[in-house]
Chain A
Amino acid sequence: MIEISNLSKRYGKQVVVDDLSLKISKGETFGFLGQNGAGKTTTIKMIVGLTRPDEGKITIGGKLVDDISARRKIGFMPEAPYFYERLTGMEFMKFCGDLFGENNRSESEYEDILKMTGIFDAKDKAIGKYSKGMKQRLGFAQTLVNDPDYIFLDEPLDGLDPLGRKEIKKIIKTLQGNGKTIFFNSHILYDTEELCDRIGIIHKGRLLYAGAVKEFCQGKPLEEKFVELVEMQQ
């Protein structure tokens, strides 16, 4: 379980995350939705330990996220990821995997992950030569190097063509089937509906809604209800 309690973050005078509290159960797929600049990325960065909150605390599987060992069981995909241009895809996977210890995975296991994310053919090409879509997939692939229980994805479908989005959604569904807990940010709403068990909606740092998708939508498309909610805040 992921437990977020009273999380707050300020950059200077600007409040970016405002007293956020959330509970995500094990095995759940949670979609964190909101406009650009609503505070989604800051939140996810605080969960994985990149940024320190000003107030509040976060635990993953009972461990505080400050504890480095909490990161053994998580995978994180940053938004619009940058890479080491001169490494190959496979070298990058091995590099990420090696950070978990000597014998994290075998080469064929990494190959399987690359196959699953559709970039196996480019595994020995320098990342600098990858297209945006390929980089996005590699970013996704490296979240799986340590077979994590908790997977955090920041805009995983961003920059992918329709076929790419379909493939990634398929992978997410497979991971769901394997009992992984998945937390992802998105500002693209129509894809989110079919993936999530529960959603959270954040606007200007404040949580407006957290709960089941169907309850929120009440028969209408998610996007429509979302826009309604946000416009109500203005």
Chain B
Amino acid sequence: MHNVLVIAKNTFKEAVRDRIFYAILGFAVLFILLDLFLARLALGDPVMIKSFGLAGIYIFGLIVTIFLGSSIIYKEIERRTLYFIISKPVTRAQVVLGKFLGLFMAVALTTVLMAVVYIGVVLHETSMFDFLGLVAVFFQLLEMGLIVAVLIFFSSITAPMTATLLAVIMVFIGHLLGSVLYSGEIIGGTTYKLSLAFYYLFPNLEKFDLRNLVVHGISITPHGALFAIAYAVLYSGILIWGAILLLNRREL
């Protein structure tokens, strides 16, 4: 609805004008151009070129997301910019949704820019348009959306430093859960039950990682794609809902 878009646009503007945003973006583009250099070392092996390129987009996407997102809500509360908004006919739900959308758009913009540079590099080195690479980037966006939701949730409760730390830990755990479950299966007993609980409760990010497949020319199945999208939407939805509830309760 209207207010959500107004707040989203505002959040987006504020985010993309951050000087550090530009710095990170600059580094990201640099990294991908570095891929050109690595292409020399790799003797033109497309697997290596694509691996490094997509990894770069992922790592820098994460950095931008976590850096911008961790202070988003907390800054509003701490710096009382929220006072201007909430004293107008705006619900707290609209605020949270607007913040989410605005931040996600900023992250999406960086990701798309990096992807364009990446496609150019791969085209130049291998004369092939890496369509599967774009598919991988799309699913990366889903993952980033989920992480933005995590950040918004955390930054409704804690200071930016803590929110950042928690989000970083979540990301690592999110990629570990498969191995944790596997080890749990081997050990059995309570450990298994615990690992199963973790597996389902924590944000499980492995499903959005198509990089290892895509560099070998393998894509995701429609079945996998459907459930990955559903997971991202549902989990983000719960986190945003939680953030709204927290903001509703909060003393301003």
Binds A, one of B6-14, B25-33, B63-71: B6-14
B90 — which chain A residues lie within 8 A by C-beta? 68, 71, 99
Q: Which of A11, A69, A72, A81 has the most CB of B within 10 A?
A: A81
Q: A159 CB to closest chain B CB, in angstroms? A: 15
Q: Number of residues in A with C-beta < 8 Å to the partner?
A: 30
> Which residues of chain A (134-158) have a CB below 8 Å from chain B?
142, 146, 152
Given A45-B252, A78-B83, A82-B81, A71 and B88 touching (CB < 8 A)?
yes
Asked if residues A68 and B91 are in contact (CB atoms below 8 Å), the reply is yes
Query: Which residue on chain A has the smallest CB distance to residue B83?
Result: A78
Q: Which of A49, A87, A91 contacts B87 (CB 8 A)?
A: A49
Asked if residues B83 and A95 are in contact (CB atoms below 8 Å), the reply is no
A69 — which chain B residues lie within 8 A by C-beta? 89
Chain A 148-172 against B: per-residue CB contact (8 Å), 1 yes, 0 no? Answer: 0000100000000000000000000
Asked if residues B88 and A96 are in contact (CB atoms below 8 Å), the reply is yes
**Is the contact region of chain B dominated by helix, strand, or loop, or is it mixed?**
helix
Q: Which of B2, B13, B85, B89 contacts A91 (CB 8 A)?
A: B13
Chain A 73-112 against B: per-residue CB contact (8 Å), 1 yes, 0 no? Answer: 0101010011110110001000110111110000000000
B3 — which chain A residues lie within 8 A by C-beta? 99
Distance A15 CA – B81 CA, assembled complex (angstroms): 26
> Which residues of chain B (73-100) have a CB below 8 Å from chain A?
79-81, 83-91
Given contacts A82-B81, A146-B88, 6 further A-B contacts (CB under 8 A): A68-B90, A68-B91, A71-B87, A71-B90, A76-B83, A86-B13
A-B residue pairs in contact (CB < 8 Å), sample of 20: A11-B251, A45-B252, A51-B251, A51-B252, A71-B88, A76-B83, A78-B80, A81-B80, A81-B83, A86-B13, A86-B17, A87-B14, A96-B84, A98-B2, A98-B6, A99-B3, A99-B7, A101-B2, A142-B84, A146-B88
